[in-house]
Structures are given as C-alpha cells and as structure tokens.
Structure 1
C-alpha cells in the first residue's frame, strides 16, 4: 500500500492524524495526476485542518478535473476563504452548485453577504426543477437572519416539495419574513397545500418567529405533545421556553418515554420551560453513549449539545464528555464521503459543551497518532 493510501486511510480513521498525512493528501490532490475519490473527499471536508495549504489549494483551482475543483472549492469554503467565490459563481451559472446538506454546512462558513448574491439567482429559478434547492435552503437556515434578503425567494418554495425546509428557513429569518405570516398560519392549521405530517408544528413555530405572536405555536405544538406525536412538537416548545409553561406536565411525563429522541427533546423542553435542570440532566446524560459510532437513530450529539446549553448545572457530564473528546478514532457510521465532516461537528459540539459546563477544563488533545501506519514501519513523509 502506498504512502498516499496510508495517509488517506489515517485521515478518515483518526481525529488527530500525524500532520504529514494532511500534507500528503493535499499535495496529491493539488498535483498533476488524479489522487483518487477518497483523497478528494478528505480534502473537501478538511476545513481548518488544511489552512496551511490554503494558497496551494487556491492556486490549483482550474488545473484538475471538475470533481477535483469542486472538492478544492469546498476546502476553501470550509476555511471561510473568499477565493472559493469565483468557482461557486461559475457553478451557480451552470446549475451545478453542491446539492447535499453536508455541502451546505461547509458553504455556511462563508459570509452570507458574500455568497448570497451567488445563491439568489439560483433560488429564483423554478423551485421544483432545481436539484440544489434542498442544500440552498439548508444554507439559508444556517445563516438565519443574515439570509433575510432571500425571504421572497424562500416563500416561493412553499407549496413545493421543499415546503418543509422553506418553513424552517422562514422561521430562522424571523421578522423580515413576516410577509409569509398568512401562509404559515394556513400550514399550521392544516390548510396549506400538501400540509400534513410534521408541517403544522414547524409552520406554527415559524409563524411565531415571524410575527412575535406565540398563540398559534403554543396551541399547535402543545396539541402535538398531548396527542402522542410529541417528538414533532417538543423542540418548538423548547424554543418557546417559559411561554409554554402551560404544557409543563405532559412534557415532564414524556421524559420517561420509551423513545430516545422523545426523552431527549422532552428533557430539553422541560429545562427551557421551567429553568430547572435537575430532572433533565440525568435523562440527557443517559443518552450520551461513549461508544456511539454516529448512528443517526440515537440522539447522542443532540444530548451533548443540550447539556452544553444547560452549562454549569450539568457538571456531572464533564468527565464523560472529556473521555469521549479524547478518543482517537472518528465516528465510523457516517457515509465515508462526510465522515470527517460529521466527526468534526461532533468534536466541536463536545468542545463547546465542555467550555460552557466547566470553562477551561476541556480535555487536552490526545497525541497525534497513526497506529496503522506506524506498525507497518511506514511513518515517512509523502512526496510527489
């Protein structure tokens, strides 16, 4: 197995690989020959891990395949480097912007003011026909109020296959999207085109965020909690906080639900509504599995995030979070094309939670190791 293969495998497997591994993969991807799918995808997810190579990456744009260019552009975007913008403009003009949610999370690192002019013409196209709408709406939701210049374009996505995502964006934008209030009320009450499933809860929440009036959200989301479709109403009640005090009893009862996600969201909502962390912390801590491999059926990362929100009263969680953060191996369940990205997000969640729970006492990074390489006697710097 070549040094490049070993380096690439190490990047996907370990949180703190030897620095030469990133050097080897970046140099290969930016070189004159095709380095391989795994290497391209590793660099596209790297973000700040390859900041030392930002100039080389920027200089290499346009010299390789379209696939390689896309990966290098995402690498620059993940660092917040504006040199990604010219390529993104070309991709937008050709209707070839990245179309996966994980890609949107990378692009969200770029300032909204810089990237919105690239995104807006794409959003103005027929919503049902453009394959990147899901990713672009995810991007706008991540930007939140900074995406307010796109409110009119987002409203056009109501009544399409992208309605659910559009509701989220409008709620995140808030008051600048008040022009959608009547349509949001229609979805919240089941009168919107294609309404059903989880639409009413998200629409009612969005209606509150754009109008400032919580009545509809309290009614619709509270009814969901009482009816047994709790997981669709609890996150919105958590956002409402003390305004949802009338629903405290059913929320407290759902902390004993057989469903892990429902227990987690109920604990969050109970704490946000009452301000009392004592019953919530043990429920959340029970969901933080140190052996979690990234399986999306388990709310582990969300439980960690909420413990971080609670802060100092969740200090009993700190030793476990430090132990998880110090682990050498990345999450293994996410698809390989986003494994590094998913693990980086988990590490960031753990780090931020620890900083809020016990400031200044986070885990020191484990030594940078690439055991598989070292055991084979191949720990040498890659050269092209």
Structure 2
C-alpha cells in the first residue's frame, strides 16, 4: 500500500493534500499503534469545511477503506467513523467519487459483519436502508452492538417490520432493552414514553442492573458508553415538553432509589431537577420536598445539590430554614461543583431573610477570595451566587453589614495581594444599596485613582446622590485623564452627586449630535434623569429616535418622555418590547428597561400591551435568559415589575 500511496499525484488536489498524504502514511507506519489522534488530519481535510466531497477525498478513499478493513490498524474504529461521515456528506460531489465509492461498496458493507464489535457498531450508519438494519438486528448477538442497532432502527419507524420489532421490545424480558425501545420509539412518538414511565423508573432504580447500562448503552457519535445516570438524564429529557410528567418521573425515581446507597442516581435526579426548576415555575412545589428529603444525605455531593435548589427557591423554601441553619458549618463539597454545603446553606438563609445568616456574613463571603485562586464552574450547574446576588437584596441590614464591607474595601486599598475582583464585587453591592451606602463614601472615593477599579467606583458614586458631592474633585480629574467618549457619562455622574447641575446638564446635552450624526448618540439615555430641565436638548433626543440601533431608539424615547411629559412616541416603543417578549423574544435587557420606564413615569399599558404582560405573567417558563440560579432571580424581578405595571 505504501507504493500505491506514493504513486498518487497529490499535487493539484488542494492545500490539504500533503497533510492527507502524511496522515495516511503515518497510519500505515504505526499500524496497530495508530490512534484516533492520527486520524484527525483526515477528518479536517476530508470531512470538514467546505461541504461536499472533494477530489482529495476521492483520491484518499481507497487507502482509508484499506486501513479501516485491516485488523492490523489500531485506529480502525475512527476510520470507519470517517467513512460514515463521508457517506453522508451534503453538497457538491467530485465527479470521480461515485465510481470510487461503488468500487469500495462491498468492502465497506463487509464492515457491518466485522469480527470487531466496535467496528460493527461504527459501521451501522453505512447500512443501506431498513432491510440491512433488520438483518443486523437478527444476526447481532453482542449486547454492546445490539443496542446501537436498535437505536439505528429508530430512523426507520415508518417501516412496518421495524416498527414491529421495536414495539415488541416494549415487553421484552430484558429491562435495558425495554428502556432502549422506549427511547427509540419516543423520537417519533413522544407520548409513548408517558405510558412507560413506571417501567422506566423500575429499570433505572434496579440495583441489579447498575453495571449493565455502561456495558451496553452505546450511541453513535458519542465516544463513551452512557452510564445509568446518563440514561436517567436522557430519559427525563423525553418528557421535557410536559414539565408535570417530567417532574413526576423525577420524583418517582428519587423515591425508588436506595435512599443511602445510591447517591449516583440521586445526584442525577437532583441535577435534572435543578435544570427543570430553572426553566419552569410550576415544578417548584413538587421538587422542594425532594430536595428537602435529600439535604441531610450522607453523601455531600447530594447534600450540596439539594441545598442549592432550596436556596434558589428562597422564601418559598422557608419550611427548611431550621435544617439549613444546622448545615451552616458543613464543609462537604459537591465534587466538581463550586462551594461547600455550608456556603449554599448560608445563601439559602439570606434568601429567606433569616437572621441566623447575619453573624460574620461578609467575612465568610469574602474569605473564599483569599483562599482560592479564581473560580471555575460550568454554566447552568449549581454554583456560588455572586456577592451582589447575596448581599444586594439585604437592604434592611445595611447598618449591620456595611462596616465589614468598608473594612474589606480599606484592606483592598492597602494590601497589594488583595483580590481586585472582590473589590469590584463589593462596590457592586454598594451600588445595589444606593444612598444607604453613603457611609462608605471615603472607601469608594479611595478607589477613584485605581486604574482597574476607578470605573466601578464612579458607577457606585452615581447611586449615592447629592450627599456624595465631596467626591467631585476626584471625579472631575477623570475628565482630563480619560478618553473623551467618557465625558458625557462623567458629567452625568457629577450631576448625580450634586455638582454644578446647569453645567453638567449642558455638557451632557451638547454631547448629543444635532442631526444626522452618530457620534455621541450613546449619551442620550443620561438625559432621562434630568427631566424637564433637559428641554433645550429635546430636538437632539428626537434625532436619536432615528438611530439604527434599537437600544438607542428605546433610550431616546424614554428620555423624551421624561423631558416633555408626553408619553408619545415613547409608549409605542415601550409596548413593542412587551409584545415582542410575549411572542417569544429574548431581549430581556430592553424589556426590563421599558417596563421600568413605564412604571417610573406612571404610565398605563394599552390594551395590547396589557394582554402581552398578562400572558407573560401567566406563562410557566422562567422570564430569564440564564440557565442557572439567576433564572429564578430574574424571574422574580420581572414578575414583580409586571405586577406593578398591571396594577397601575
């Protein structure tokens, strides 16, 4: 084969031709020692972009087939996967490809009966229609291949014989095969899984089957077999269009699992329960008791997940407050999840406004910044909440918490090893508290010369109001030090803290273009706060209504309402946001901005807007773009705004 490979004229077959020649040569040289990594250049060159089948693929095909069928090639399984990828390529096809594939046909089809089970499994996409797959089902006796054949039959459920095979398996004596049949049929008949729910729970919770799943549950295009917990997760996904049924599946699975000896399955239940809770409101009342039963589990990875779920529910989980308080010092971790059981229990108590969370709260929250180098978490998984999400809502306890925050901020000013991100987070907390954080003015002002944190400090000053006027000189210093595009914002901040109202208004207003210009238009939103005093700049605001950017148009409309007192043209733009969100929109930022503006100006939504807001209030889906705990916090925030708007 080496001579044949060298005889190919690779020049003119594309810029990747030499890479393909080298990869094929390396596979030949390495023989039984060849691995998946040796095949990567072939995937990139032959099955990557652009779409279609190239002349290079036609030239390489005989060698790929020969290597894939050679028992002496270590990377056979990966090469069969490459053949399957080439067989289903869409797009332009090299004129020589059909003939090359025809010549290789019998050899390629023989892979379906190869002696190596892994090769037979990877070759299944090469089977020609339901007849070939039915034959493989009858002939295949290796359970680790047989299940994959079953999944492949699911692409042909319109074939009567295939359907007869699959429906017959629903009453098979092997529970694993029964579950696989449900998964396969549910792809086209999702309602079928509902009728098999009890059987699915029984099979997944059966301790005698725990080792079977990972031995046989292979899915094409997935490198490793599924564990029982993986199968449980994807079984729950079968019901995701009906949250009530999905919840029933999870609660029954949790009840059927060994309460102390099957932490793996309980972890899987809680993981999927968490994802369900972040998507739907209606499941909360049913899932909280599940978490409540598991919050004292001997396995800390189960405890942490249960406690995090209760914490996210906050005041609606207050029945578990006493038991959560008993976990405050629990050092158990969640494996790869962030935080300890005690940290999540602490957050739960703050969400419930429980006074047992207060002693040493700030110190505990800040300690992790000194003990760890950075953070690592997977989006959507349970994790520590951001500081502002813990402390920001605690406005009734500012007097008790503020001294500790000031102490941390002072440490950040003097300790070269202090975590800069912690200081940013603490300043964000003070912004959430607004004027109540005024006693921290010296510490906030101390960060104005800091080249990393000055922006955070200025933003925080803007929330304090005119009582922070003493910070004026330090803020004004940035007018000459920073880029000109910051000036309008800095003048707005100066106005907010009580400095020279007329001069700062003039600076912000005159930064807006007069007409037909884009420079400076981003400052239009700052004029909202000036109200009627900004009337001389109303025409410039109207000019911004013509911006190509929807966000700028919305801000201009809100500002114009504030300046003129006339709800037109703001109202139509605001109400468009409500209608868009009710129709499935995802621009939550502008939706919240529009809703807040309507409330601030005392506006009453029109009939269509009211209908849209009522439909949003009634929907089960969370009002949030997030997939973690913030989905629940966002949902609470937006629903409170909707309630306020509809009460007007």
Shift of 1:126: 2.7
Cα distance in 2 for partners of 1:285, 1:105 equals 29
Contact 1:12 1:339 in 2 (8 A): yes
Cα distance in 1 for partners of 2:458, 2:629 equals 28
Q: Deviations over 1:306-335 (max 9, x none)?
A: 222233443342211111111111146324
Q: Is 1:81 equivalent to 2:354 in the alignment?
A: yes
Q: Which moved more, 1:210-219 or 1:320-329?
A: 210-219
TM-score (norm 2): 0.50
Cα distance in 2 for partners of 1:353, 1:208 equals 29
Shift of 1:83: 1.7
Q: Deviations over 1:84-116 (max 9, x none)?
A: 223524425636399998540331222211211
Cα distance in 2 for partners of 1:244, 1:29 equals 56
Q: Deviations over 1:99-148 (max 9, x none)?
A: 99854033122221121122111111235842212221111011111101
Cα distance in 2 for partners of 1:31, 1:198 equals 56
The one of 266, 279, 302 equivalent to 1:35 is 302
Contact 2:331 2:341 in 1 (8 A): yes
What corresponds to 1:377 in structure 2? none
Structure showing greater radius of gyration is 2
The one of 112, 116, 128 equivalent to 2:398 is 112
What corresponds to 1:149 in structure 2? 439
The one of 297, 305, 328 equivalent to 1:61 is 328
What corresponds to 2:280 in structure 1? 14
Structure 1 alignment gaps of length 5 or more: 358-384
Q: Which moved more, 1:284-293 or 1:96-105?
A: 96-105
Contact 2:365 2:387 in 1 (8 A): no
SS in 2 for 1:16: coil
Contact 2:604 2:645 in 1 (8 A): no
Q: CA separation of 1:25/1:145 partners in 2, compared to 1, >3 Å: closer, same or farther?
A: same
Q: Is 1:353 equivalent to 2:645 in the alignment?
A: yes
Q: CA separation of 1:219/1:77 partners in 2, compared to 1, >3 Å: closer, same or farther?
A: same
Q: Is 1:191 equivalent to 2:494 in the alignment?
A: no
Contact 1:8 1:25 in 2 (8 A): no
SS in 1 for 2:281: coil
Cα distance in 1 for partners of 2:401, 2:293 equals 28
Q: CA separation of 1:292/1:107 partners in 2, compared to 1, >3 Å: closer, same or farther?
A: farther
Cα distance in 1 for partners of 2:553, 2:286 equals 43
Q: Deviations over 1:233-292 (max 9, x none)?
A: 223210111111111111123223221211111111011111111211001111232245
Cα distance in 1 for partners of 2:319, 2:350 equals 14
The one of 229, 239, 249 equivalent to 2:539 is 249
Q: CA separation of 1:309/1:28 partners in 2, compared to 1, >3 Å: closer, same or farther?
A: same
What corresponds to 2:408 in structure 1? 122
Q: CA separation of 1:133/1:46 partners in 2, compared to 1, >3 Å: closer, same or farther?
A: farther
What corresponds to 1:24 in structure 2? 290
The one of 70, 83, 89 equivalent to 2:343 is 70
Q: Is 1:201 equivalent to 2:485 in the alignment?
A: no
The one of 546, 551, 557 equivalent to 1:267 is 557
Shift of 1:41: 4.3
Contact 1:235 1:269 in 2 (8 A): yes
Structure 2 alignment gaps of length 5 or more: 1-231, 233-252, 255-268, 333-338, 376-383
The one of 461, 484, 499 equivalent to 1:170 is 461
Cα distance in 1 for partners of 2:296, 2:321 equals 11
Contact 1:154 1:166 in 2 (8 A): yes
Cα distance in 2 for partners of 1:30, 1:203 equals 52
Q: Is 1:285 equivalent to 2:567 in the alignment?
A: no
Alignment length, in residue pairs?
351
TM-score (norm 1): 0.81
SS in 1 for 2:497: helix
Q: CA separation of 1:322/1:136 partners in 2, compared to 1, >3 Å: closer, same or farther?
A: same
Q: Which moved more, 1:125-134 or 1:32-41?
A: 32-41
SS in 2 for 1:94: helix
Contact 2:280 2:620 in 1 (8 A): yes
What corresponds to 2:618 in structure 1? 326
RMSD over equivalenced CA pairs, Å: 2.8
Cα distance in 2 for partners of 1:49, 1:231 equals 44
Contact 1:32 1:64 in 2 (8 A): no
The one of 180, 186, 189 equivalent to 2:471 is 180
Q: CA separation of 1:257/1:87 partners in 2, compared to 1, >3 Å: closer, same or farther?
A: same
Cα distance in 2 for partners of 1:352, 1:174 equals 25
Q: Is 1:308 equivalent to 2:574 in the alignment?
A: no
